[in-house]
Amino acid sequence: MSEKRLRTIAVNQAGYSSGGDKLALFSWDTPRYHIIDIASGNVVFTGQTGANIEDKPSGCRVRSGDFSALTSPGEYRIEGAEGEQSAAFFIAEKPYQKLQRGLLKAFYYYRCGVELDGEYAGAWGHKACHLAEGTVIGQPGLRQDSSGGWHDAGDYGKYSGPGAKAVADLLLAWELYPAAFAGVHTLPESDGSLLDVLLECTVELDWLFKMQESGSGGVYHKLTTAHFPGLDVMPEEDTGELYFSPVSAAATGDFAGVMAMAARIYKPFDEAYAARCLEAARAAWSWLTAHPHVPGFTNPRGITTGEYGDKVDSDERFWAAAELFRTTGDEQFHSAALELAKLPFPKYSFGWGDMGGYGTLAYLLIGEAGTLPSLYAELREGLLAEADRLLRQSRHDGYRISLLEQDYIWGSNMLVMNHAMLLLAAEHFSGEQEYAACALDHLHYLLGRNVLGISYVSGFGEHAVMHPHHRPSVGDHVLEPVPGLVVGGPDRGLHDEYVKKHLRRKPAAQCYADHEDSYSTNEVTIYWNSPALFVTARFNC
């Protein structure tokens, strides 16, 4: 039991599907509970909890309460035997449609270089920002356009690799679950001819074009000021000199992969744009083949913003080769993918540093008939084996997710959602529904079914995060934070001063602080939102 004897009734605060399974999780030994209809005040369900699970990551003995028999749409709250209360939650046929729209709209709020006005931004608008040209480090006197794209995180840096991951997640979500994106028009550009998800991705893709070095095809690693601005500085007030950091192999591989993907996806809608994407991807691939051995990226002297260092680039090269082969059918890319697949890098990971999972998905989505059968079988079997491992871990976890105690790291919620992505990929290639059910458990965790009973998505849930480490949310002086942002979540390493002071000796899953100073647990990023959107889209089809 944790030192404060938490009594949390944890639910998915976004809600549950009327006809689906519904579990609440209790962090203490309580035998029974009841559910109240908030509108009427009536008790509509009484239930018994199950057996205890000793859950080391949370420090609690967890019991579950199954209320799947409650199917009537409405808003509810659970009460324990001694008056303990859950957050409010909904039951609806499609409970995650607003959530998906919010997760996608968050990318609009991340936009750089344009004014966000009241009609579309509500209370969270700001003036156009970061319009100045940037200096290319290592090339004296060279300055070039740097505007556009998405701010990466709680600061205003823009990074090629993480941006590519975020776009890839969104494009994959549309490719696998297109029905989930129909009829959504929430952007200034929405006109019904191109879905919002594809319109929003072009914002980042158009900026990524600017990150490709003219003449060489290589891609600059990042674009930032020399140092982070203060936490209350609004985007338009961040006027420090902008710097393009040098080309890196990791950034170039990610760029080639996402541009090849975009070329395929946008071709039915805009052939000229698709051709531009493919030309850029081929140029990046030419740079990669001309530079087979490149040192990992480190920050240039005088730059202290996020490094996103990556010493291994074989995973990014594999993604680039597989994606180019899928898009073009060109055997040179197939041969390259076959050779790269022999190297020992993680092939089922979707993190910004380990991108091999995207290459695996690209190859498998071609289909067995268009690939080398032995590699196809190897990658498919490996993917399913990894999904089975996550499934086993989830079954032994009190909160039904796949994180072990040591997995509560900086950005643990990215792991939660990336694991859910992998489980859904396993469902796609196997047809087994248990993978999807496990992925949904991960979404439940993100939306409040965790030991702290907090929704880790701003604006979604009665007890949602309120104080993210996000400069616009701090500097705009609006009470509510920018909505739809996924925060990093518990980090047992206690990597910032606030949590070192306030969370010492806490169990791993409780090492979270909803405070603007806690950048290691409460910052936001585009590549935490993107896998959450992918997972949510699956359950909106």
**Which residues participate in catalysis according to the annotation?**
469, 514, 523
530/340 Cα distance (integer angstroms): 26
CB 84 within 8 A of CB 5: no
67/443 Cα distance (integer angstroms): 18
Which residue in this structure is represented by tokens 């493919």? 278
Which residue in this structure is represented by tokens 């952007």? 187
Count other Cβ atoms within 10 Å, centred on residue 471.
24
Three-state SS annotation for 414-455: HHHHHHHHHHHHHHHHHCCHHHHHHHHHHHHHHCCCCCCCCE
CB 284 within 8 A of CB 212: yes
**Half-sphere exposure (CA, 13 Å, Cβ side) for 152?**
23
Helix, strand counts (H, E) of the chain: 16, 14
3-state secondary structure of 161: helix
Order across the sheet with 16-17: list the strands.
16-17, 89-92, 74-80, 32-37, 43-48
437/294 Cα distance (integer angstroms): 42
Helix spans in 308-396 (H): 314-328, 331-340, 356-366, 373-395
Nearest by Cα to 26 from 72, 61, 70, 74: 61
Which residue in this structure is represented by tokens 């092939």? 347
Which residue in this structure is represented by tokens 């009665």? 462
Residue 407: DSSP 8-state? G
138/146 Cα distance (integer angstroms): 16
Which residue in this structure is represented by tokens 């730059």? 303
Tokens of 491: 């980090």
Which residue in this structure is represented by tokens 């790269």? 340
User: In angstroms, how far is the first alpha carbon of the chain from the final one?
Assistant: 40
